[in-house]
Structure 1
C-alpha cells in the first residue's frame, strides 16, 4: 500500500511517498481502507519536533489522525462493524508511528463511527478532530446555550467554522472574526463577521453593546487580549491554542475521544445543522503541498488528502 512518511523532524519537505506491506495488528482491531484523510495543525506541530517532549515518535512516522473510509476486514474478536461499513475516525496511538496519510490503517472500534450520509468522503475526513474539538469547546468548556452571544476568533478556519455552526445550532448569536476576504464565508456559516485588527472591539460593541457572553479562541496571535474590553459580566473564555495568558481564567480545550460526543456531532451533521467546508483536496501523493497550504494560514475550512487510487 501507499503511505506518506517522515524519517526525521521537519516541515513538508521531509515527507516521502513509500510502498508498505499491509499493516498487521491485534485481533480486536478493524482494518479500514482510507478514502480520505484530514490534515490538522497538530500534524505540523508533531512533525516539526516542537512537541517531541510530550509524545514519543517512532520513526519512520506516518502522520495523520483523521480518516473517512470503508471497513475492509475485522480482526477475529472485533465487533461493532461489518465489512463494507462506511466510517469516519479519530485514530491516534500512544506514540507517533502509524497514521492516516495512507491507503489503509488498523483502528480500534471505539475510534470509529458511521460516516454521515450527507457528507462526501473529503468532507467526512475533515470532521473528526476539528469537529470534536469544536463540539467539546462549545458544549463542554463554554457551555453555550440558547440566548448566549458567542465570539469565535478564527471563524473561517478548520475548528472555527465548525464551532460557529455548532454554537448557532445551540441557539446562540455568533460573531466570528476573520480577514476581509473571509467575511462572506463567515456570514454564510450563520455568524456576523467582524474583521481582525485595531477596530475589532469597536466593531463588536456596535453589534452587541452589552458585550459577549463567551469567547472561543481558535486563532491565537493574542486574540484573547481584547476580551476585557468586549466582555459581558461573567464572560467565559476558552482556547484551543493554549494562549492562556492572554486572558486570566481562560479554559484550555484539550481534545479527547468521546463516543457520545462523536455521536452527537454526527447527528448535528446529518440533521443539516453543521457541514464541513473543504478548501482543497489533494491526492495522497501531494501531501507535502497540502501541508504547505495548511501552514500558510489562509485556509477556509479544511484541507484533506484523497486516496484516488481506491476509486
Structure 2
C-alpha cells in the first residue's frame, strides 16, 4: 500500500445498528485498501431515496445487513492505494457509487476502501458536494437512456419525474445527446423542468393521450424513461411510439400489463444499477460512465441540483427525514 500522508488508525462513522433506528456516531478502524482498491478520504456523501429505504429495512434488494455503515455515493481524495491499482494515485480527487450495499461499507464515514473500478476523476469545475450528488442518479440515467434506449439526436424523449434525482440529470443527458426532451412533474416542479431545457408537462392536468397528441401529433415518444414506477410505468406503455419506441424504467418492479406496449410493437427494458456492486461484475462500466459524466460537467452540460442545506454527519438523520417527508429541494449531501 502506498500513501502520501499520515492516516489515523480510527475514523468517525455513522452506524445503523437496527433497521428503523437513528444512526449512531461511532469510532471505527480506518479500513486498509486491498488488491484493486483505494482508500478515499470522504469529503461529501450524497443521500438518495434508496438510502432511506435501506435504513427502514425496506431495501432488501440492496442486501445490506445491520449493523452497517450506509451511504452509496461519495466524493473525496485518494490517500492510499492497494496492490494492482494503476489508474489513481494519492491526492487524486475522485467520486463514485462505492458502498452501502451488499455488505460493503457505506460512505457515511471519514474514510472508505473502494474498488478503484467504481471511481472516476472529479471534474475540476464542480465541487465535491456536486460530485457526491451525481453517481447513483447519473449511472442510472446513462444505463437507461444510453445503454438500453440508445438515445440519439433528433429523438423525442419523455422523462417521468423530471425534477427528481434521476430525472433532472436524465434531462441534461438526453439534451447532451441532441434529443428534444419533455418531462412530467407536478405544479411545483414545472419551473425547474423548464430551466433544465425540457418542455414541462403537468401530469395531473393532462392525460397521456392529451400530451401525446399535443407534443408528438399522436405518434408517441421515441423513448419514455420512467423514474417513478407503479402506474407511471403503465402509462409509459401508452405514450411510446409505435414500432420503434422504447420504454425503460428504473423502478419496474411491480406487475404490469404489457398489452399496451405489445399492441404498439414497442420494446421495454429495465435498469438495476446496483448489480455491479452486488455481483462484482461490470464495475468498470460504472467507472467509465462516471468518466463520461465528468466530461459533460467539464463542458457545462451537467450540473446537479443541490438542496441548499449544509449538513454534517451528525445531521444525517435530518437529511433522511427530509427525503422521506418530501421537503428536500434538490439532492441532499452530507459533509463528512
Q: Same fold per TM (> 0.5)?
A: yes
CA shift digits 1:2-25 (9 cap, x unpaired)? 211101112xx4312222232234
Q: Which runs of 5+ in 1 are unaligned?
A: none
2:297 pairs with one of 242, 266, 269: 269
- Decide whether aligned partners of structure 1 residues 244 and 57 sit closer, same or farther in structure 2, where only a CA change above 3 A counts: closer
Task: Determine whether 1:226 maps to 2:244.
Answer: no
Task: Determine whether 1:254 maps to 2:299.
Answer: no
Give the whole-Å Cα distance in 2 for the aligned partners of 1:58 and 1:292. Answer: 21
Partner of 2:313: 284
CA shift digits 1:82-117 (9 cap, x unpaired)? 221111122137723511011111112212111111
Give the whole-Å Cα distance in 1 for the aligned partners of 2:215 and 2:62. Answer: 43
CA shift digits 1:154-208 (9 cap, x unpaired)? 1101111001110011111111111111111101111000112252422342232
Give the whole-Å Cα distance in 1 for the aligned partners of 2:104 and 2:147. Answer: 30
Partner of 2:280: none
Q: TM-score, normalised by structure 2?
A: 0.84
2:248 pairs with one of 226, 238, 244: 238
- Decide whether aligned partners of structure 1 residues 291 and 93 sit closer, same or farther in structure 2, where only a CA change above 3 A counts: closer
Give the whole-Å Cα distance in 2 for the aligned partners of 1:22 and 1:57. Answer: 20
Contact kept? 1:79, 1:109, Cα under 8 Å: no
Runs (4+) of structure 1 exceeding 6 A deviation are none
Pick which of 190-199 and 154-163 moved more.
190-199
- Decide whether aligned partners of structure 1 residues 180 and 298 sit closer, same or farther in structure 2, where only a CA change above 3 A counts: farther
Q: TM-score, normalised by structure 1?
A: 0.90
Q: CA deviation at 1:26?
A: 2.4
Partner of 1:44: 52
Q: CA deviation at 1:222?
A: 1.1
- Decide whether aligned partners of structure 1 residues 147 and 27 sit closer, same or farther in structure 2, where only a CA change above 3 A counts: closer
Give the whole-Å Cα distance in 2 for the aligned partners of 1:104 and 1:253. Answer: 29
SS at 2:242 equivalent:
strand
Give the whole-Å Cα distance in 2 for the aligned partners of 1:118 and 1:139. Answer: 24
Contact kept? 1:72, 1:83, Cα under 8 Å: yes
CA shift digits 1:34-61 (9 cap, x unpaired)? 1101112221222222243x45434320
Give the whole-Å Cα distance in 2 for the aligned partners of 1:271 and 1:175. Answer: 22
Contact kept? 2:149, 2:223, Cα under 8 Å: yes
Contact kept? 1:88, 1:124, Cα under 8 Å: yes
- Decide whether aligned partners of structure 1 residues 173 and 106 sit closer, same or farther in structure 2, where only a CA change above 3 A counts: same
1:5 pairs with one of 3, 6, 15: 15
Contact kept? 1:157, 1:299, Cα under 8 Å: no
Partner of 1:174: 181
Contact kept? 2:64, 2:100, Cα under 8 Å: no
Q: CA deviation at 1:76?
A: 5.3
Give the whole-Å Cα distance in 2 for the aligned partners of 1:58 and 1:224. Answer: 30
Contact kept? 1:205, 1:230, Cα under 8 Å: no
Q: Which runs of 5+ in 2 are unaligned?
A: 1-10, 259-266, 277-282
Give the whole-Å Cα distance in 1 for the aligned partners of 2:40 and 2:295. Answer: 22
Contact kept? 2:33, 2:114, Cα under 8 Å: no
2:87 pairs with one of 62, 80, 84: 80
Partner of 1:135: 142
Pick which of 24-33 and 67-76 moved more.
24-33
Give the whole-Å Cα distance in 2 for the aligned partners of 1:299 and 1:139. Answer: 28
- Decide whether aligned partners of structure 1 residues 246 and 279 sit closer, same or farther in structure 2, where only a CA change above 3 A counts: farther
Give the whole-Å Cα distance in 1 for the aligned partners of 2:146 and 2:327. Answer: 27
- Decide whether aligned partners of structure 1 residues 19 and 233 sit closer, same or farther in structure 2, where only a CA change above 3 A counts: same
